[in-house]
C-alpha cells in the first residue's frame, strides 16, 4: 500500500484505541522490515523510479511526436465513420441471438483428470471461462490456469495446418500415410511402434489404446509428464500393493500435517480441496482446523498454515519419521508398536515434533497426514501408515482406482525411448505429451533420437523444441475446440464439447490415434458418442436425448464410484522405513519446483500468466533463484545479483530473489521458464532461466551437491506490489483464535463505525446497495480472481518493461504481507480493488466529473469525460486506480479481438481505469429483471472475482438483502474497513484473518 498524500496526515497506529495488545507489525518487503533509507526516499514520490519514463528505445522527442500524431489522428477519426465489415448469418442458428451470450458446459484436464467448465460464448466466440457448479472437481470455481485458456485459444502463433518436415500437407494425406504405416506394422505385431501420450482419464482414449494394443501387441504405449505424479502412485503401491488415488475430506479434518504438499493449488482435486479446507476455517463457529506444513519453499499452502516448519526438502522425510517415532513411543499409538525401538528422533526439532505428534494423537480419526508429490514413494507410504494408525483412513480419506490410462509417467520413460530410438528400434513414434525434448532430464538426448525416427508424429499447439525434430507436426485443437471425454478422481465422467470450430484445422488426440486403432474414418465426435452409446446400451432418439442432457449439465450422472477398499501392507512399509538413510545431507541443496504459472512450461506463451504476479515472490515475466536471507548473506548475494548455480557439472545463471521464510542452505528454482518469448518485440527475448538444464532423472526434484557463486552483472526481473511501505497502518490484519475469542464483542471496534466528516451521509434509498466482502481467513492468495477480472473486463497486458516500471494495469491485485521475522514470517494475502467509498476522495478532485457516485453505491468511471489528470489516483489512499499510460494493444489482431468481452468498453490510452464491481453484470441482470417484471435476484448475481474464487473468500451482493452472505459478512465481528480513520466509508468490508496455533508451540 503506497503512502498517503499530504492531504491525509498519518495517524499513529502502533497502539490504537481499543486494539488492546498490539499485533506484530506487518511488512511488505525486507527493505521495509529493515527500515531501509531508500524506502524513505521513494515515499517522496507518487510512482516508482522510472514510471514516468517512455518505453525503452524511445526518446522524449519521438515520444511526444507519436503522442501528438496519435491525438491528431484520433481527432480526424472522430469526424469520419470507421470502415466496417459486416458478415451476417445466412441462416441464423436457433440458439444464437446477437447481443445475448450463451453458456455451454464442457471440461478440461489440468492434471490428467477432468474438471468441469462453463464457458460464455457470444455469437460463437468464447470470451469467459467459469467453473461448473455441478462438477465434483470444480464446484463452480476455477483457477488462474483455466481463466487464461482463452489466451491460448486466440493465439496467432499456434501451429497452422499439418506439416511434413516443414512442407504443408493435408490431414487426408496424413491419414493415408499413417494408415499405410499401420498396415506395415501390423505384420510384425507393431514392433517399432511407440506412443508417448499425455496422462489422461478419457474413457474413449482408453478404448482406442486397448484397440491399438490388441492390433499391435509388440507396440509400446507410454505416458509422460514432466510433473509426474508417479511417486504418489508408487507410494500407494508400496502401502497397498497397487497404485491408488487419494481423496481427503478437508472440511471434516481438524488437524492436517502437510509434508511438502501444496494441496491447495496443486493436484487433480485442488479446487475442491481448497473449498473444503476453507470451510473448516470458520472462527465464528468457535472451532477451526489446524494446519501444519513442513516445506522448503514458501508455497500457497504454507502461506495458509497455522505452523510452518521451514527445512531443506531432504529434511521433510526426516521430520515425518521423527513424528512417527514420537507417535510410536510417547503417544503409544496402536498399530505403530514395531517402530518404538527405531531411532527416529530429531533432537533439533524435538519441540515441534512433540507438539505435532501430540496434536495428531489427540485428534485421532479427524487428523490427516498428506505427502507432496515431489517426495519419494516411501514418504507417501509413510503417510498412509500414519493415517491408518490415526483412524482417518476410511473416514476422511477415500481411495480410488486410478482413472488415468497409466500411472508410470516419469523421466525413466524418456530414457528408454531415447535409447530405443538411437538404436534404430523405433520406426513410428506418436507424441501427444507436451514438449518432451524441452522437459527431458539431463543425459537424455531425446532431440537427436527423435530426428532418427523415420515417422515421428508430434501433436503440438505451438512450434517448439520437439517439433523441430519431428517428421510430422500436427496442429493441436485447443480444449475449447475439441470433442472428448474425461473422468474426475471419483470417476465422474464429463463430455468435452467444442465452443468454436477449430481455428487452425486443429486435431484432437483421438484424431491422431484413430488411424492406428483402425477407425481413421471416424471423427473424435463420432468416437466419443459411439463409446458412450455402447456403455449405456441405448440407441436412436433415446440416446440422443440422453446425450443432449449430458452436454447441458456437463456431467454424466451415475458414473462416480464410492472408492475401493485396501489393506495396508505393514511389512512392506516397515521395510521401506528401515531403509531410510538417516545421515543428513550437507551443503547447499537444489530444489526444483513445478511452475506455479508455467507448470511444466506449457503456459509459457500465455501473456496473462506471464504477467500474473507469483503469490509469494510477486515476480512476473521471469523466475529467479530463491534463497533465504541468511543463505544470501552467507553467500554475499543481494537481490537482483546474478548467481551461477552448478550441479553435477552443469550450470545456469539466475537472478537472486531473497524470499523471507525460505529454508536455509537451499536454492529453489521454478521449472517451465528459460524459453524465447517473441511478444511485441522485434527480436525474441528469453524470459527466465531453464531449470531443466539442472534436472536429472535420479533427482527430478531435489538433491545435494549444489554450488553457488556470484556472477558478474545484474539480473533482471519484474516484481509488483513489493515496494513502498505500510507506514504503520493496519491494512491486512491477522490474529489468533484465542485473541479473537477473548475480544469478540469489541473486536476491531477502532476500525468500524462512523467517522467525522464534512459531507452529508450516503442515502440508502435505492432498492439495491451494492457491496463486497472479502474474508481474509478464506483467501489463500491463489490469484485466480486477478486473472478472472482481467478476462471479464478486457484489461490489457502491459509487458515486462512496463511491469518493471510499476505500471501494472490490474483492477484487482492480491497483495502479500508478512508478519514476524524475516526467517520465520507469517504471510497474509489480501485482494485489493476499488473500495467504492461512500465518501470517495477521488470524486471531488476530478475537474471534469469523470468519476461520480451512483445512488446504488457504485463509484463510477466515465471514460469519455476523463482527460487523464490523474488527480483521482493521487487522492485515492488505496492506490487502486490505474492510468492507461500507453496504447497497450498496438498490434492486436482480429483473431485476438474475438476474446474481448463485448459488454465492457476497450479503453483508449490516457484514461483512468479501476474496478467497477462488474457493473456490466449488474446492468445485464437489471435488463433481464425488467423484461420479466421482477426485482434483480441479488443472491445469484456475482462479480467475476467472486464467481471464480475457489474458497468463496469474495462475495458480492446488495446490503438491502439482509439474508445475503455479503450483508452477513458486513455485520460479522471480524469485519473492518481498510484505512477506516480516513472516513471514506468503503463498500468493501474485510474480515480479519484468524490463525489457530497450537498453544504448546505458541506459548512454549
- So where are the chain's domains? 26-45+731-756+769-997, 245-400, 586-719
Cell 447441458 maps to which residue? 552
Contact 224, 436 (CB under 8 A): yes
pLDDT at 9 over 90: no
Angle at 633 between CA 725 and CA 639, to 5 degrees: 50
Domain 586-719 = CATH 2.30.29.30:
no
pLDDT of 235? 97
Q: In the predicted model, what is the mean pLDDT of residues 339-366?
A: 92
Give the pLDDT of residue 45: 61
Q: Report the pLDDT value the prediction gives residue 25, as an integer from 0 to 100.
A: 77
In the predicted model, what is the mean pLDDT of the chain?
89
Alpha helices in 807-949 (DSSP H): 871-875, 894-897, 919-931, 944-948
Comparing 585 with 998, the larger pLDDT belongs to 998
Closest C-alpha to 446, from 463, 465, 462: 465
Element (H, E) at 205: helix 203-215
Q: Which residues of 106-122 are buried (b: 16+ CB within 10 A; e: fewer)?
A: bbbbbbbbbbbbbbbbb
* Range in 225-234, 239-248, 256-265, 753-762 the model is least confident about: 753-762
CA 935 to chain CA mean position, Å: 36
> 883 pLDDT band (50/70/90 cuts)?
very high
Residue 964, pLDDT above cutoff 50:
yes
**Binning pLDDT at 50, 70 and 90, where does residue 61 land?**
very low
Give the residue with greater pLDDT, 89 vs 613: 613
pLDDT at position 10, please?
Answer: 35
Q: pLDDT at position 832, please?
A: 96
**Strand locations in 452-565, DSSP E?**
455-460, 472-475, 484-487, 493-496
Q: CB–CB of 4/718 below 8 Å?
A: no
Give the separation between CA 119 and CA 126, rounded to whole angstroms.
7
User: Residue 168 — pLDDT band, cuts 50, 70, 90?
Assistant: very high
What lies within 8 Å, CB to CB, of 783 at 6+ separation is 144, 612, 613, 615, 814
Q: What is the mean pLDDT of residues 670-683?
A: 76
Spatial contact of 730 and 988, defined as CB atoms under 8 Å apart: no
Q: Under a CB-based contact definition with an 8 Å cutoff, are residues 254 and 366 in contact? A: yes
pTM of this structure: 0.92
Q: Are 532 and 232 a contacting pair, CB within 8 Å?
A: no
Whole-angstrom Cα distance, residue 303 to residue 716?
26
Residue of 834 and 676 predicted with greater confidence: 834
What value does the mean pLDDT take over residues 725-730? Answer: 76
- In the chain, % of residues over pLDDT 70: 90
Residue 58 has pLDDT above 50, yes or no: no
Domain pair 26-45+731-756+769-997 / 586-719, same fold: no
Place of cell 484413430: 514
Largest CA distance in the chain: 91
What is the per-residue pLDDT for 1004? 60
Residue recorded with cell 500474473: 612
What are 179's three cell numbers? 494408415
Segment 130-134 mean pLDDT: 95
What average pLDDT does this structure show over 929-945? 94
User: What's the confidence (pLDDT) of residue 96?
Assistant: 73
CB atoms within 10 A of CB 613: 25
User: In angstroms, rounded to a whole number, what is the distance separating the alpha carbons of residues 259 and 746?
Assistant: 38
Instruction: Please determine, for residue 55, whether its predicted confidence score (pLDDT) is greater than 70.
Output: no
pLDDT average, residue stretch 939-966? 95
Would you place residue 709 in the very low, low, confident or very high pLDDT band (cuts 50, 70, 90)? Answer: very high
pLDDT, tens only, 265-288: 999 999 999 999 999 999 987 789
The CATH class given to the 245-400 domain equals alpha beta
| Kind and range of the H or E run holding 553 | helix 540-553
| Mean pLDDT lowest among 144-148, 573-577, 580-584, 764-768 | 580-584
Instruction: Give the burial string for 347-366 (b: 16+ CB within 10 Å, else e).
Output: eebeebbbbbbbbbbebebb
The span from the CA of 40 to the CA of 34, in Å, is 12
**Integer Cα distance of 446 and 423 in angstroms:** 12
The pLDDT tens digits of the residues spanning 386-409 come to 999 999 999 999 999 999 988 999
3-state DSSP helix/strand/coil % of the chain, to nearest 5: 30, 20, 50
Task: Give the whole-angstrom CA distance, residue 450 versus residue 454.
Answer: 9
Predicted local distance difference test score (pLDDT) of residue 66: 37
Q: How far apart are CA 236 and CA 399, in angstroms?
A: 10
pLDDT tens for each residue of 25-43: 788 888 777 776 666 666 5
- Using pLDDT thresholds of 50, 70 and 90, give the confidence band for residue 47: low
Whole-number pLDDT of residue 37: 67
Helix, strand, or coil here: 962? coil
Does residue 253 surpass a pLDDT of 70? yes
Beta strands in 123-265 (DSSP E): 125-131, 162-164, 167-169, 193-197, 220-223, 245-248, 255-259
Burial letters 736-756, b for 16+ CB under 10 A, else e: bbebbeebeeebbebbbeeee
- Tens of pLDDT, residue by residue over 612-652, are 999 999 999 999 999 999 999 999 999 999 999 999 999 99
Task: Report the 3 state secondary structure along 586-649.
Answer: CCEEEEEECECCCECCCCCCCHHHHHCCCCCCCEECCCCEEECHHHHHHCCCCCCEEEEEEECC
The domain made up of 26-45+731-756+769-997 is a member of CATH 3.30.70.20: yes
Question: What is the H or E stretch that residue 771 is in?
Answer: strand 770-775
pLDDT for res 89:
46
pLDDT tens digits for range 891-918? 788 898 999 999 999 988 899 999 999 9
- Which of the 8 DSSP states describes residue 249? -
CA atoms within 13 A on the CB side of 948: 26
- Residues 569 and 240 sit within 8 Å (Cβ to Cβ): yes
| pLDDT for residue 38 | 65
The confidence band for 343, taking pLDDT boundaries of 50, 70 and 90, is confident
Higher pLDDT, 281 or 1: 281
Q: Is 434 helix (H, G, I), strand (E, B) or coil?
A: coil
- Range in 179-193, 446-460, 488-502 the model is least confident about: 179-193
16 has pLDDT over 50: no
Hey, which bits of 854-946 come out as E strands?
A: 859-861, 882-883, 912-913
Q: Are 487 and 404 in contact (CB under 8 A)?
A: no
Query: Are residues 526 and 495 in contact, defined by beta-carbon separation less than 8 angstroms?
Result: no
Does an H or E element contain 706, and which? strand 702-714
Confidence band of 15 (pLDDT split at 50, 70, 90):
very low
Looking at residue 27, what is its pLDDT? 83
* 467 secondary structure, DSSP code: G
Amino acid at each position: 500500500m503506497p503512502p498517503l498524500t499530504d492531504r491525509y496526515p498519518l495517524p499513529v497506529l502502533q497502539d490504537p484505541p481499543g486494539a488492546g495488545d498490539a499485533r506484530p507489525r506487518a511488512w511488505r518487503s525486507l527493505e521495509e522490515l529493515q527500515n531501509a533509507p531508500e524506502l524513505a526516499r521513494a515515499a517522496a514520490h507518487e510512482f516508482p523510479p522510472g514510471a514516468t519514463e517512455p518505453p525503452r528505445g524511445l526518446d522524449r522527442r519521438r515520444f511526444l511526436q507519436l503522442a501528438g500524431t496519435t491525438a491528431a489522428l484520433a481527432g480526424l477519426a472522430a469526424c469520419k465513420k470507421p470502415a466496417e465489415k459486416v458478415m451476417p448469418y445466412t441462416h441464423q442458428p436457433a440458439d444464437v441471438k446477437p447481443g445475448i451470450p450463451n453458456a455451454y458446459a464442457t471440461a478440461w484436464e489440468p492434471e490428467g483428470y477432468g474438471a468441469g467448465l462453463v464457458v460464455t460464448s457470444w455469437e460463437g466466440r468464447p470470451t469467459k471461462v467459469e467453473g461448473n457448479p455441478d462438477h465434483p472437481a470444480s464446484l463452480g470455481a476455477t483457477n488462474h490456469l483455466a481463466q487464461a485458456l482463452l489466451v491460448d485459444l486466440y493465439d496467432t502463433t499456434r501451429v497452422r495446418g499439418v506439416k511434413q518436415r516443414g512442407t504443408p500437407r493435408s490431414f487426408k494425406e496424413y491419414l493415408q500415410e499413417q494408415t499405410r504405416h499401420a498396415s506395415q506394422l501390423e505384420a510384425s505385431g507393431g514392433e517399432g511402434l511407440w506412443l508417448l501420450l499425455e496422462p489422461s482419464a478419457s474413457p474413449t482414449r482408453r478404448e482406442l489404446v486397448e484397440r491399438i494394443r490388441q492390433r499391435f501387441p509388440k507396440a509400446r504405449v507410454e505416458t509422460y509428464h514432466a510433473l509426474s505424479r508417479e511417486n504418489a502412485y508408487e507410494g500407494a503401491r508400496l502401502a497397498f500393493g497397487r497404485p491408488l488415488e487419494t481423496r481427503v475430506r478437508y472440511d471434516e479434518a481438524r488437524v492436517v500435517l502437510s509434508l511438502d504438499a501444496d494441496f491447495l493449488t496443486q493436484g487433480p482435486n485442488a479446487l475442491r480441496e481448497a473449498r473444503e479446507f476453507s470451510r473448516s476455517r470458520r472462527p465464528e463457529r468457535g472451532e477451526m482446523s489446524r494446519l501444519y506444513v513442513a516445506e522448503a519453499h514458501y508455497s500457497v499452502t504454507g502461506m495458509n498454515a497455522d505452523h510452518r516448519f521451514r527445512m531443506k526438502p531432504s529434511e521433510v522425510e526426516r521430520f515425518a519419521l521423527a513424528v512417527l517415532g514420537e507417535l510410536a513411543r510417547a503417544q503409544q499409538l496402536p498399530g505403530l508398536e514395531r517402530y518404538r525401538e527405531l531411532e527416529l528422533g530429531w533432537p533439533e526439532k524435538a519441540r515441534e515434533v512433540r507438539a505435532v505428534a501430540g496434536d495428531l494423537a489427540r485428534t485421532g480419526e479427524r487428523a490427516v497426514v498428506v505427502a507432496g508429490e515431489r517426495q519419494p514413494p516411501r514418504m507417501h507410504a509413510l503417510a498412509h501408515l500414519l493415517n491408518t494408525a490415526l483412524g482417518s483412513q476410511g473416514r476422511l480419506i477415500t481411495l480410488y482406482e486410478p482413472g488415468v490410462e497409466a500411472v508410470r509417467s516419469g523421466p525413466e520413460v524418456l530414457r528408454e525411448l531415447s535409447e530405443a530410438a538411437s538404436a534404430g528400434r523405433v520406426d513410428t513414434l506418436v507424441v501427444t505429451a507436451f514438449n518432451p525434448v524441452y522437459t527431458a532430464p539431463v543425459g537424455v538426448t531425446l532431440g537427436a533420437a527423435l530426428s532418427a525416427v523415420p515417422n515421428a508424429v508430434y501433436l503440438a499447439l505451438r512450434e517448439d523444441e520437439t517439433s523441430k525434430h519431428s517428421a510430422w507436426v500436427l496442429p493441436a485443437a485447443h480444449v475449447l475446440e475439441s470433442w472428448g471425454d474425461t473422468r474426475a478422481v471419483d470417476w465422474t465422467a464429463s463430455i468435452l464439447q467444442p465452443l468454436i470450430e477449430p481455428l487452425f484445422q486443429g486435431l484432437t488426440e483421438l484424431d491422431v490415434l484413430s488411424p492406428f486403432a483402425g477407425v481413421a474414418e471416424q471423427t473424435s465426435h463420432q468416437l466419443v458418442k459411439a463409446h458412450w452409446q455402447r456403455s449405456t446400451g441405448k440407441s436412436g432418439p433415446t440416446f440422443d436425448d440422453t446425450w443432449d442432457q449430458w452436454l447441458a449439465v456437463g456431467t454424466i450422472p451415475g458414473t462416480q464410484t464410492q472408492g475401493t477398499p485396501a489393506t495396508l501392507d505393514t511389512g512392506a512399509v516397515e521395510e521401506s522405513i528401515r531403509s531410510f538413510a538417516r545421515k543428513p545431507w550437507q551443503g547447499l541443496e537444489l530444489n526444483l519446483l513445478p511452475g506455479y504459472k508455467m507448470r511444466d512450461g506449457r503456459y509459457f506463451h500465455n501473456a496473462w500468466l506471464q504477467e500474473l504476479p507469483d503469490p509469494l515472490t510477486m515476480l512476473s515475466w521471469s523466475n529467479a533463484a530463491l534463497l533465504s536471507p541468511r543463505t544470501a548473506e552467507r553467500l554475499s548475494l543481494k537481490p537482483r545479483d546474478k548467481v551461477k548455480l552448478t550441479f553435477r557439472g552443469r550450470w545456469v545463471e539466475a537472478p537472486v530473489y531473497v524470499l523471507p521464510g525460505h529454508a536455509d542452505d537451499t536454492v529453489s528454482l521454478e521449472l517451465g521458464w528459460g524459453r524465447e518469448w517473441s511478444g511485441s518485440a522485434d527480436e525474441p527475448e528469453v524470459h527466465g532461466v531453464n531449470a531443466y538444464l539442472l534436472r536429472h532423472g535420479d533427482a527430478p526434484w531435489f538433491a545435494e551437491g549444489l554450488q553457488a557463486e556470484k556472477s558478474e552483472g545484474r539480473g533482471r526481473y519484474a516484481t509488483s506490489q513489493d515496494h513502498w511501505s505500510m507506514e504503520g497502518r493496519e491494512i491486512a490484519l491477522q490474529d489468533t483464535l484465542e485473541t479473537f475469542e477473548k475480544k469478540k464483542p469489541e473486536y476491531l471496534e477502532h476500525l468500524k463505525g462512523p467517522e467525522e466528516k464534512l459531507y452529508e451521509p450516503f442515502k440508502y434509498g435505492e432498492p439495491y446497495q451494492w457491496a463486497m466482502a472479502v474474508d481474509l481467513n478464506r483467501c489463500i492468495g491463489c490469484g485466480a480472481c486477478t486473472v478472472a477480472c482481467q478476462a471479464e473486463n478486457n484489461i490489457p497486458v502491459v509487458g515486462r518493461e512496463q511491469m518493471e516500471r510499476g505500471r501494472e494495469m490490474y483492477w484487482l491485485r492480491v497483495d502479500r504481507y508478512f508478519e514476524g521475522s524475516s526467517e520465520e514470517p507469517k504471510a497474509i494475502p489480501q485482494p485489493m480493488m476499488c473500495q467504492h467509498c461512500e465518501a470517495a476522495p477521488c470524486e471531488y478532485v476530478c475537474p471534469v466529473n469523470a468519476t461520480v457516485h451512483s445512488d446504488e453505491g457504485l463509484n463510477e468511471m466515465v471514460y469519455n469525460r476523463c482527460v487523464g489528470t490523474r488527480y483521482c489516483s493521487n487522492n485515492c489512499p488505496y492506490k487502486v486506480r490505474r492510468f492507461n499510460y500507453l496504447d497497450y494493444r498496438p498490434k492486436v489482431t482480429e483473431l485476438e479481438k474475438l476474446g474481448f468481452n463485448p459488454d465492457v468498453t476497450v479503453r483508449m490510452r490516457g484514461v483512468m481505469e479501476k474496478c467497477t464491481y462488474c457493473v456490466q453484470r449488474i446492468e445485464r441482470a437489471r435488463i433481464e429483471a425488467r423484461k420479466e417484471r421482477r426485482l434483480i435476484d441479488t443472491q445469484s448475481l456475482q462479480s467475476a472475482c467472486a464467481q471464480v474464487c475457489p474458497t468463496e473468500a469474495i462475495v458480492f451482493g446488495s446490503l438491502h438483502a439482509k439474508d445475503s452472505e455479503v450483508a452477513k459478512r458486513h455485520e460479522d465481528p471480524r469485519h473492518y474497513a481498510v484505512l477506516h480513520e480516513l472516513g471514506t466509508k468503503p463498500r468493501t468490508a474485510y474480515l480479519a484473518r484468524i490463525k489457530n496455533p497450537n498453544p504448546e508451540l505458541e506459548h512454549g
